[in-house]
Amino acid sequence: MSLLVVGTVAFDALETPFGKTDKIIGGAATYISLAASYLLPEIRLVSVVGDDFPDETIQMLRERGVDTSGLQVKSGQKTFFWSGRYHLDMNTRDTVETQLNVLADFDPVLPDHFKDSKYLMLGNLMPSVQQRVLEQMNERPRLIVLDTMNYWMEHHWDDLMENLKNVDVLTINDSEARQLSGEYSLVKAASKILQMGPKYLIIKKGEHGALLFGEGHIFIAPALPLEEVFDPTGAGDTFAGGFISYLARTDDVSFENMKRAIIHASAMASFCVEKFGTQRLEELTLDELAHRHRLFRALTHYEMDFSTLKQLI
Amino acid sequence: MSLLVVGTVAFDALETPFGKTDKIIGGAATYISLAASYLLPEIRLVSVVGDDFPDETIQMLRERGVDTSGLQVKSGQKTFFWSGRYHLDMNTRDTVETQLNVLADFDPVLPDHFKDSKYLMLGNLMPSVQQRVLEQMNERPRLIVLDTMNYWMEHHWDDLMENLKNVDVLTINDSEARQLSGEYSLVKAASKILQMGPKYLIIKKGEHGALLFGEGHIFIAPALPLEEVFDPTGAGDTFAGGFISYLARTDDVSFENMKRAIIHASAMASFCVEKFGTQRLEELTLDELAHRHRLFRALTHYEMDFSTLKQLI
């Protein structure tokens, strides 16, 4: 099924306890599209870059099935740039510098053949920009997943609340869930957030895995325990891309299938953090991916015979 | 199978964001024994209290199958007392006061009929005291589980290292695993700690669940997401009691059975934190316990058809 991805395509400069990079390719939509490209033959991308953005990267995305006809290239302007420094725990980071550049007045324009997309991933962007995409769709997509962050909660609350009424799944991290709800307990936070509009909520907890809330149920996906988290940049976007592409590929938005989608999302994210930037996501083999699915299975799978249990207790 | 439990029986005074208590019953061995009493008809307890300790509590333990013939009651002396204050995250706490009292010169003495115990739980105590218990056993138990804490790593390193060589399973929390190994990554930490002696390592992460390492495998048990963690005191001990009692009840120390034991341990711990002190552990019904096992199952269980997956990717 058709997937439309909206979000940033950008340059990042990163510093982690393991090293630092010069400007490398980043951006939410880049990670989402790359992750999705392992399950879908075609991904529709809406984003914006400056004319400093390398043609080879755009070419690489095209070769992976990304339709870049919705990618605006602004001549004489520069691409969005973010640089950050990670703390030792790799779950927290400081922004060193943000240059909005082309993002400052980004007005997403959907090519006509994007407007019937059945699955829509609204990557982290200013809420009013996410809204502009929704307005251009011919009809409501079968499933809309929205990612956002603390900055929009602090500065664009009303627009964000408006968006939440229109989406199916919200993906945020644990501190954002606490901020959005004003509740410390994630169970209470989820309950409040689900009243804001989304039918499902995914709370990402980095190395502690992810929680899916919806239909009165909770599902917990583990993160793969790794010897080293080399660079967590893009892990959340990779997760989102893995999640929505699994649902689009199977065209099944039941809670049961969302569980599998979250495991696939976690598997994709576990690759992302193994190297700097998008590197690992560009070189994955399908055997590696299938093997990692088996690793995830083994992490939480146990046999429990409930009739035997009754006799034990 | 016979279970011997060694650890503190104590008074606690607690302060959490939800309230505070006067002196209430606490102690590692108390929580371990109570948790174990749901699976085992008899638990052998070795500990020490002063004559200020209430007879009714000792009577309550006996009624639950705890053999208290190894519980020394020191006349004219006072019971070990600890008071602490929890932070909002409930994963960290400050010690307000510690009165060692009878614990200062505790010399554990095993009644003869305890010396053939097949399962041994060495609750958190000074490593040399744990060692004294091991020395008195007629033969090595089938399984020895040891709990410890940061204080002993800082002040009794050599004794602790000696103990680690003699036990099968070590249970510690994530910050203790990092301290013990000098590694931030829990995978690297586990690898180093398993070289110190234990065949299995359980890393407890509070609301983020628990990890079991051993035989080259990792298993992750979730924690039950709760609306409120009322009081985390004793959750780790309850977990340990749930874990070893499941293994003793089934008399199966395979990695597969340890997975089930950790789920049972997590279920028991999820009850413990619902009320202050040992209250919830004293009033559990078997139906509640069976129901919680089903909740845990639903938290992580998903169906994945690997042949279908191969077609998707």
Say yes or no to pLDDT of A1 above 80: yes
Of B219, B226, B298, the CB nearest to A187: B226
Q: Which residue reads 């520069």 in tokens?
A: A78
Would the pLDDT of A87 be above 90?
no
All residues of chain B having their beta carbon less than 8 Å from the beta carbon of residue A298 are 217-219
Helix (H) or strand (E) holding B14: strand B10-16
Q: End-to-end alpha-carbon separation of chain A, Å?
A: 48
Does position A200 have pLDDT exceeding 80, yes or no? yes
Q: How confident is the model at residue A93 (pLDDT cuts 50, 70, 90)?
A: confident
Determine the pLDDT at residue A306.
83
Strands (E), chain A: 3-6, 10-16, 19-20, 24-26, 43-50, 66-74, 81-86, 93-99, 119-122, 143-147, 169-173, 200-204, 210-214, 217-221
Is A304 in contact with B298 (Cβ distance < 8 A)?
no
Residue B88 has pLDDT above 80, yes or no: no
pLDDT at B49 over 80: yes
Rounded to whole angstroms, the Cα distance separating A94 from A252 reads: 38
Reported confidence tier of residue B64, pLDDT bands at 50, 70, 90: very high
Which of A220, A228, A306 is nearest residue B300 as measured by Cβ atoms? A220
Of residues B191, B260, B256, the one with CA closest to residue A226: B191
Q: What is the C-alpha separation between B112 and A307, in angstroms, rounded?
A: 37
Closest by Cβ to A217, choosing from B294, B298, B303: B298
pLDDT at A182: 97
Confidence of residue B308 (pLDDT cuts 50, 70, 90): confident
Tokens representing residue B299 in the block: 């938290």
What is chain B's alpha carbon radius of gyration, rounded to the nearest angstrom?
A: 19
- Residue B229 — very low, low, confident or very high, per pLDDT cuts 50/70/90? confident
Nearest alpha carbon to residue B142 among B32, B248, B222: B248
Domain total of chain A: 1
Asked whether the predicted pLDDT for residue B220 surpasses 80, the reply is yes
DSSP conformation letters of B186-223: HHHHHHHHHTTS-SEEEEE-GGG-EEEEETTEEEEEPP
What does the pLDDT look like over A107-146, one tens digit per residue? 999 999 999 999 999 999 999 999 999 999 999 999 999 9
The pLDDT tens digits of the residues spanning B133-186 come to: 999 999 999 999 999 999 999 999 999 999 999 999 999 999 999 999 999 999
Q: Which of A57-61, A96-100, B33-37, B115-119 has the lowest mean pLDDT?
A: A96-100
Minimal C-alpha gap between B50 and chain A (Å): 33
Judge: A226–B187 Cβ closer than 8 Å, yes or no: yes
Is A89's pLDDT higher than 90? no
Q: What is the pLDDT of residue B225?
A: 97
Domain that holds residue A236: 3-312
pLDDT at A261 over 80: yes
Going by C-alpha positions, the residue among B125, B118, B75 that lies closest to residue B100 is B125
A243-270: average pLDDT? 98
Nearest one of B227, B297, B222, B229 to A191, comparing CA atoms: B227
Beta-carbon separation of A220 and B89 below 8 A: no
Write the CATH number for A171: 3.40.1190.20
Confidence of residue B269 (pLDDT cuts 50, 70, 90): very high
Report the residue of B220, B266, B268, B284 to disrupt the A interface, i.e. the one with the largest count of A CBs within 10 Å.
B220
Average pLDDT over residues A15-22: 87
Average pLDDT over residues B29-56: 98
- Number of neighbours of residue B301 by Cβ within 10 angstroms: 14
Percent of the residues in chain A that have a pLDDT greater than 70, as a whole number = 100
Contact criterion met (CB < 8 Å) for A302 and B219: yes
Which value does ipTM take for this structure?
Answer: 0.94
